[in-house]
Chain A
Amino acid sequence: MERREFLKKTGPAVALSAVAGTTGFVFHNREPVKHRNLLAKSASFEVSTDPTLPVLTSATNPDPVAALNAALDGIGGIGRFVHQGERVVVKPNVGWDRTPAQGANTNPALVSEMVRLCLGAGADQVTVSDVSCNDPRRSFLRSGIREAGETAGARVMLPAEEDFGEVEMGGVVLPRWEVLRHFVETDRFINMPVIKHHNLTLCTVGMKNLYGILGGRRNRLHQEIDQSIVDLAAFVRPTLTVVDGTRVLFRSGPQGGSLDDVTIENTVLCSTDQVAADARAVEFLGLSPDRVGHIVLADRSGVGTLDYQAAGYMEIA
């Protein structure tokens, strides 16, 4: 055989094996298969403490907007929490396909006022979002929160599959978990829970409301509900917790459904300490905070303080 002919005949085979070999070596992986990339390392959005101001304020007024403004002014005003050019995420409870009067979701009037205040303080962008339990489209519509957020100028983001990513939480039962990216890719986090009854935790207020940033199969968390709430609250440190006590769902929570399950309290709480906020809020449900498992555990774990009176509490009529 001629050399030329030999090269011609073997050339394609040699070239193909070279490609196969190169491909194999380029993609060769001796390491164990890696986890996906993490979204964020921390979710601490707090402002520095100010000893001249109370940690928790409470304002009662039949007009929810007035109540919110009064409580907020008492704790230093919006300017203390939101600054020029910052991205803010507002996290109301939009868990359920319920109307505002049924008290299962945060009062939309408070959400729109909060968005307006943040934009007024110079926020670059205000996002309103929640990972609803019921269908998010229905929940955001029937709760009135979509309309409230959009008319006030916020970006209302329904959870979309591609917007979830894992974070390292470092908790006891939540070492890592999927969260909605809007809640960690932000400068300020304003938690806006509503006060509701819940049979397993006795109540759901601020810290439990943080469940709404989670994706994945969060129904498993009920097995260690107190620890998982505290894990989450230790990881997510909101800038401000604004508790909607305008309507309180005192039974059949967290969904309710009947107007008979709701009492009107006309109160808004503002706090820089989520444990203090929850401790005061559960009194609307006739509970004592030191009887509520996750509040006690959060206090003991150093997430905040249960004794809100000692921490600095101001009531505004």
Chain B
Amino acid sequence: MTIRTVRNLRRGSQIVFFSIFLWLVLKTTFDVDFSPAEVSEIQLPYPVSIALEFDPLAALMTLLASGTLYKGLLWSLVILVPTIFLGRFFCGWVCPLGTLNHWMSGFKSERKARKGKRLLDSNRYKPYQQIKYYIFFFVTGAALLGSLQAGLLDPLPLLARSIGTAVLPTIHTGVLAMTTAARNTGFGPLEVAAGGIYDALDVAMLPYRQAHFHGVLLIGTLFAAILILNRVFTRFWCRGICPLGAMLGIFSRFAIFGLQKDQEACGGCNKCLLNCQGGDNPIVGSKWRQSECHLCLNCQASCPDGALDFRFFPQQEDTRENPAGTSKPDVTRRKVLGSLAAGVAAVPLFRSGDTFAVKRSPFLIRPPGSLAEEGFLERCIRCGQCMRVCPNNALHPTLLESGFEGLWTPYMIPKIGYCEPSCTLCGQVCPTGALQELALVEKVGDDDTPPMRVGTAFFDRGRCLPWAMATPCIVCEEWCPVSPKAIFLEEETAIDIEGNEVLVQRPRVDPALCTGCGACEYACPVFDRKAVYVTSVGESRSEVNQILLERVT
């Protein structure tokens, strides 16, 4: 097999893994056929989060933070163990974000910086490539104290989150706007064409209904910035920022596979450097860096002289003119310890503030099956799979609702969507166990099991129609899904503006029955700020955040 064939295999591998990843994100939605006679609970037909379970960084960080390796995360060894022997093949052959960066870096550019000498120079190993190691050690430090921050920049959760909450909803909104605009022109062919595009996209990628996510601009902007930076530096993200790349670089320390350079054969054409993805100095005369190399094999494939050779047990004399490669990442012990210490210190800094300990937002309503906040922050990698799969668009990425520490973790906004009692999809797709998988009976409860509660509903009597305006309503009571209903009614005589007596039913909540699902808040007709709203108090996951004193019967 020639090196060009191998390079084509690498290209094929990138396409295949990128497609699988995208397909899994697209399938993370409730869109199944089943007959209620066969199944009592709705299950997704595919293990849609499996790609995230292959993530060694998510595995290591949740292991450090929580002390256990959750379920499918054992799959990450399939990536990690070959890396130990071969190097960062994942970055060059598998990683879907790496593939996107590869493509974005690759296509032709008008920019001078992307050509000739300037490109050559920017492709040499640069000190900024150390940053990713310090990020890695920072998130490791934070994980040691039980705060999982790696998910913010871990490429697999980052890509799943960006596609799921930003890219696809943006496409959906755009296509709907285009269809409406085309329809409003009243011009037949245009309407047909727009309808055709909509239908094609609808079948291919759009969920049943348009999703709107909270604070998505930041996620979208970060993703766009990552892609655009490739037009300045080849794979800037992979070289300089990616903590997973750093981890795999560190785990390549004892690799037995590597690059051997033959000084005699080298004609000095620089083609290897021009095509380098990792910024690892494949050129004869420089020290090749194992920990930076993505094993894309571009250098060897583009070398006209056969001077470069990737092989097991590379042997090369270490000379001044042509130094042998090194597998040691270019980091200093002090900076490693410093960034580790910074990560360790960040956690008490986060938690000494009020948000975590004493003034948690009442609107931080975590999805059903969530662990208590400490356990939740040990595990959530912010991949957004729960948000994407939620059929009611109830789950959203936080901005500051759970402090800086919890950025982009899931929470429920009942005004946008409530928690469907019979639904357990979010727990099914969580790859790390931050949300536990629930059986239907654990969710809705029965005589022996209490239902899963995420909060409690409260009335704003100054806005509620029967309370404030002597007007009948009780939509909240109609929508309350528990039986007996948690919203009960009191018939009272109110006086309207003309002095007439009006009989109204005024709603009240029984906190012992309320599960905090938010159906009342969702359905309340006081549209802008609802007259009934849910806060997190009473949530099953917390021992502290409770109202009622319970009696042992």
Residues of A within 8 A of B (CB): 96-97, 99-100, 133-138, 141-144, 147, 158, 161-162, 198-200, 217, 219-220, 222-223, 225, 252, 254-258, 260-261
Contacts and interface: CB of A to CB of B under 8 A. Distances in A.
Nearest to A98: B422
Contacts of A161: 176, 209-210
A157 to B, nearest CB: 13
A293 to B, nearest CB: 10
Interface residues of B, number: 43
A225 B472 contact: yes
Contact of B477 (A136, A144, A199): A199
Interface string B29-47: 0111111110010100000
Contact of B421 (A97, A136, A222): A97
Contacts of B525: 217, 219-220, 222-223
Contact of A137 (B30, B40, B527): B30
A138 B37 CA distance: 14
Contact of B475 (A134, A143, A219): A219
Contacts of A219: 475, 523-525
B36 A137 contact: no
A147 B35 contact: yes
B322 interface: no
A223 B465 contact: yes
Nearest to A134: B420
A103 to B, nearest CB: 11
B422 A142 contact: yes
Nearest to B195: A162
Nearest to A144: B36
19 contacts: A96-B481, A97-B421, A97-B423, A100-B36, A135-B391, A137-B31, A138-B30, A141-B33, A141-B42, A142-B36, A198-B478, A199-B474, A200-B505, A222-B478, A254-B478, A255-B479, A255-B480, A256-B483, A258-B484
Contacts of B122: none
B208 interface: yes
A314 to B, nearest CB: 34
Interface in B454-494: 465, 471-475, 477-485, 489
Nearest to B418: A134
Interface of B: 30-37, 40, 42, 176, 179, 208-210, 391-392, 420-423, 444, 465, 471-475, 477-485, 489, 505, 523-525, 527
Contacts of A144: 35-37
B421 A252 contact: no
A287 to B, nearest CB: 17
A257 B481 contact: yes
A254 B478 CA distance: 6
Given A97-B423, A223-B472, 13 more contacts: A96-B481, A138-B422, A141-B32, A141-B36, A199-B474, A199-B478, A200-B474, A219-B524, A222-B525, A252-B484, A252-B485, A255-B479, A257-B444
Contact of A138 (B423, B480, B485): B423
B36 A199 contact: no
B163 to A, nearest CB: 22
A58 B480 CA distance: 32
A222 B36 contact: no
A142 B444 CA distance: 15
Contacts of A136: 208
Contacts of A199: 474, 477-478, 489, 505
Nearest to A226: B472
Contacts of A142: 36, 42, 422
A205 to B, nearest CB: 15
Given A199-B477, A199-B505, A257-B481, A138 B42 contact: yes
Nearest to B475: A219
Pairs A-B, 6 closest by C-beta atoms: A257-B483, A258-B483, A219-B525, A252-B483, A220-B525, A219-B475
Contacts of B30: 135, 137-138
